Chain A
Amino acid sequence: MQIICCGNPGRGDDSAALLVARELRACGIEAEIESGDALDLIEDWDETGEVIVVDATVTGAAPGTVQVWDGTLPEKIVTATASTHGLGVGEAVYLAQILNRLPRRLRIYGIEGKQFYPGSEVSPEVKEAAEKVAKQIAQETVLSTQYSVSSAR
């Protein structure tokens, strides 16, 4: 399973996914960090495998709300990634769908943020949500590994 965490450490809650990556790495689970640029995501994710992308979102939900898109594509994904030119995770999904370059299974964890201006702190709700998401992904990763091992036997 490939885990890609997107964000910018200099923009407050946009580093939500980076906190997730830090937690996962502390557990010995590999997590890649990217800006969330759509073109880079499509080039970097494993089209033949299972991919989890984590990013901050701005959907109008309460800060810290975690939303998961799994399998079916939502009508619109609004991620808050600080991709400089506005082509983020949502655009990556739609572009990859058109180009037939979606991973075999793609899940997107969105953590709702509230403050994104340069130099701002991560809000407490987002910190708490990032820990929860990291735990959930860690559990899934362990289960996935166990399943792979048992399937191979």
Chain B
Amino acid sequence: MRTGASRTIRVDTLARVEGEGALLINMSGERVTDVKLKIYEPPRLFEAFLRGRHYSEAPDITSRICGICPIAYQMSAVHAIERALRIHIDPAVRLLRRLFYCGEWIESHALHVYMLHAPDFLGYQDAIAMARDHKEVVERALRLKKIGNRLVQVLGGREIHPISAAIGGFHKVPSKQQLAELVEDLEWALEASLETVRFTATLPFPNFEQDYEFVALRHPDEYPFNEGRLVSNRGLNIDAAEYEDHFRELHVKHSNALHSVIRGRSSYLVGPLARFNLNFDKLPQVAQKAALEAKLPPPVKNPFRSIIVRAVELIFACHEALRAIREYEPPAAAHVELPKRSGTGWAITEAPRGILYHSYTFDENGLIQNAKIVPPTSQNQKRIEDDLRDYAATLVAWPLDEATWKCEQAIRNYDPCISCATHFLKLRIEKDPESA
């Protein structure tokens, strides 16, 4: 029995990943006295880099921010600038953009569910250790991700940092035949996604629920990707243009990154749980049925169960991709002509790990005067700290190494960009001499 001893959970800082992270949790007796999640956010550099560049460069520049969700960055930039230019795109282009998003969600969710998150629940150190006992599970992940890659490649021109997305449309659109060639794989992926829900529903979850303010896009007719109002379960209901009136970013001493909070309230949660809880009725029947069979009725308040929600979103992404391909007729023009004007535009889209806000102001020559990017990991950062504070409090009686491992696992619930770091993290435990 530990009484009064101070203990520290420390996760060292890592470099060379898209987001550098460190975690420090101090415990005193049965109390968690401090939680600090430190993140270095590359997007701040990109905002400065964008100033003075022509707006047409923004989609390609911002897609470099993240290797796993470049499409979300491209699309937020494209939508914000199109809004500033006051142009409207062809419905067929809009359909293609949803299809583009499906590819990114399939890639990202398949990777996270199977290779990053599942090993935690199955008791393996990593996906390689898991693969020895669960080859079929890893093979399924490989094929699912490959199908997402193919979708991105067909629409984006290449798998990595796609180049076809453009303001006003696409530089080049696919033919019906090119998309039809994806159907067989996507039908397999839909079945594999249903199996993914069944698989994840069998995993053991800690009994841990939080009282979240969920924040996500909501569209009258669609599960959200790239359009809709920003809503929450506590009354938020705003247009993207109002984002900065309702959200603020705070400097905290221990982190280079800014903490996002809702003005007058506090932290909030973005990502799969928020989307699912606020948009369950917009999921296709096949996804709703799978969720309910997995005993996952909304609202889901246990962040560990986000792995099942991601699997449900995999079903949605495959189903939506098949719908888009069925309905697709190539547009008369791949993109519309762009007017010459100055302007300010805002957009929010749903990256796999949550809402991504972009705003741009540019002059009459199209040169960017100001840019603001708020990525999902930044928005979740304070919420992750709040959750870790409560979760660590349930672990005070655990051996320090196990408690540290559990806290590291908890970070992966949010699939932050620093999850790359958390999977590489070398943990160093510092015990207070009194507790040794």
Q: Interface residues, chain A, CB within 8 Å of chain B?
A: 8-11, 14, 33-35, 37-40, 42-43, 58, 80, 82-87, 91, 94-95, 98-99, 116-119
Q: Are A35 and B160 in contact (CB under 8 A)?
A: yes
When distances are taken between beta carbons in the complex, the residues of chain A under 8 Å from B112 are 85
A9-B64, A98-B132, A118-B45 provided; 16 other pairs, C-beta below 8 A?
A34-B159, A34-B160, A38-B115, A39-B142, A39-B145, A40-B145, A40-B159, A84-B17, A84-B417, A85-B115, A85-B420, A85-B423, A86-B419, A91-B128, A94-B128, A98-B131
When distances are taken between beta carbons in the complex, the residues of chain A under 8 Å from B126 are 91
Nearest Cβ distance between residue B228 and chain A, in whole angstroms? Answer: 26
CB<8 Å pairs between A and B, sample of 7: A39-B141, A39-B146, A87-B423, A91-B128, A95-B131, A95-B138, A99-B135
Q: In the bound complex, what is the Cα–Cα distance between A131 and B256 (angstroms)?
A: 37
Closest to A92 in B: B128
Q: Interface size (B, Cβ < 8 Å)?
A: 37
Q: Does B78 count as interface, using CB distance less than 8 angstroms? A: no
* CB contact under 8 A between A98 and B16, given known A39-B145, A85-B419, A86-B424: no
Q: Are A99 and B18 in contact (CB under 8 A)?
A: no
50-83 of chain B: CB within 8 A of chain A: 64, 66-68
Q: Are B49 and A119 in contact (CB under 8 A)?
A: yes
Q: Does B15 count as interface, using CB distance less than 8 angstroms? A: yes
Q: In the bound complex, what is the Cα–Cα distance between A72 and B195 (angstroms)?
A: 36
Q: Does B392 count as interface, using CB distance less than 8 angstroms? A: no
When distances are taken between beta carbons in the complex, the residues of chain B under 8 Å from A43 are 142-143, 145-146, 149
Q: In the bound complex, what is the Cα–Cα distance between A84 and B424 (angstroms)?
A: 11
Q: In the bound complex, what is the Cα–Cα distance between A23 and B266 (angstroms)?
A: 52
* CB contact under 8 A between A86 and B18, given known A39-B141, A95-B127, A118-B45: no
Nearest Cβ distance between residue A43 and chain B, in whole angstroms? Answer: 5
Q: In the bound complex, what is the Cα–Cα distance between A34 and B115 (angstroms)?
A: 19
Closest to A118 in B: B42
* CB contact under 8 A between A40 and B149, given known A83-B67, A86-B421, A99-B139: yes
Q: Are A98 and B135 in contact (CB under 8 A)?
A: yes
When distances are taken between beta carbons in the complex, the residues of chain A under 8 Å from B142 are 39, 42-43
Closest to B133 in A: A98
Q: Are A14 and B141 in contact (CB under 8 A)?
A: no
Q: Does B39 count as interface, using CB distance less than 8 angstroms? A: no
Q: In the bound complex, what is the Cα–Cα distance between A99 and B135 (angstroms)?
A: 6
Q: Are B417 and A87 in contact (CB under 8 A)?
A: no
Closest to B159 in A: A40
Q: In the bound complex, what is the Cα–Cα distance between A14 and B66 (angstroms)?
A: 15
When distances are taken between beta carbons in the complex, the residues of chain A under 8 Å from B128 are 91, 94-95, 98
When distances are taken between beta carbons in the complex, the residues of chain A under 8 Å from B160 are 33-35
Q: Which of A10, A33, A94, A119 lies at the interface centre, i.e. has the most chain B CB atoms within 10 A of its CB?
A: A10
Q: In the bound complex, what is the Cα–Cα distance between A30 and B295 (angstroms)?
A: 51
Q: In the bound complex, what is the Cα–Cα distance between A147 and B423 (angstroms)?
A: 43
Q: Are B68 and A84 in contact (CB under 8 A)?
A: yes
Partner of A117, one of B15, B132, B143: B15
Q: Does B290 count as interface, using CB distance less than 8 angstroms? A: no
* CB contact under 8 A between A116 and B111, given known A39-B142, A86-B421: no
When distances are taken between beta carbons in the complex, the residues of chain B under 8 Å from A99 are 131, 135, 138-139
Q: Does B155 count as interface, using CB distance less than 8 angstroms? A: no
Closest to B66 in A: A84
Q: Are B67 and A82 in contact (CB under 8 A)?
A: yes
131-183 of chain B: CB within 8 A of chain A: 131-132, 135, 138-139, 141-143, 145-146, 149, 159-160
Q: Does B384 count as interface, using CB distance less than 8 angstroms? A: no
